[in-house]
Amino acid sequence: MGILAKIFFTILIYLFVEIYVFVEVSIRIGFFPAAILLISFSIIGYMITKRIKGVSFQKAMADYSKGESPSKNLVKTAGFFISGVLFLVPGFITDFIAILFLIPFLNFYLVYLILRYFKNKFAGSFTYQNDGNDFENKTFTFISLPFKKNGK
């Protein structure tokens, strides 16, 4: 099975699960309260993403001008931005995950897990041909994690 088929089936399963959860919530609390909840979460997501846009860059520049590393602030901002985007996506499951990104301790841990996942996906070596006919093998790091656990 190719990568596009995996992505397609993942999105398809996600849509079915979100629709099932929406129907269950609608049965429990009613359709209009469930729809109002989804709309209000989308408005909250819009407000979060709009607010994060300018504030994060200003805080990072202030930390950098003080001589401090802005990485902790950027990780916190990334968590809030991910939360805002997840709130924009309609569905109760994504809203629940977005709420997890708003909790301060979980914010850092979840962003750390995401960065570690992408570091493992993109770290490695690659071979390319430079100006001549010889090939060079280079090792690179795509993402550096902002904090390390137990000196690792």
Q: What is the pLDDT of residues 67-80, one digit of tens each?
A: 776 667 777 788 88
What DSSP string describes 55-106? Answer: HHHHHHHHHHHHT--THHHHHHHHHHHHHHHHHHS-SHHHHHHHHHHHSHHH
pLDDT (tens digit per residue) in 46-65: 988 888 776 776 777 777 77
Q: What angle do CA 144, 147, 148 make, to 5 degrees?
A: 95
Task: HSE, CB side, 13 Å, CA atoms: give it for residue 71.
Answer: 10
How many CB atoms lie under 10 A from the CB of residue 12? 10
* Residue 127 phi, psi (nearest 5): -120, 135
Q: What angle do CA 98, 3, 95 make, to 5 degrees?
A: 10
pLDDT (tens digit per residue) in 60-112: 777 777 877 666 777 778 888 888 889 998 899 999 999 998 888 888 888 88
Distance of alpha carbon 41 from alpha carbon 33, whole angstroms:
12
pTM: 0.68
Please give the pLDDT value at position 35: 93
Distance of alpha carbon 127 from alpha carbon 133, whole angstroms:
12
Which residues have a Cβ under 8 Å from the Cβ of 123 and sit 6 or more positions away? 140, 141, 142, 143
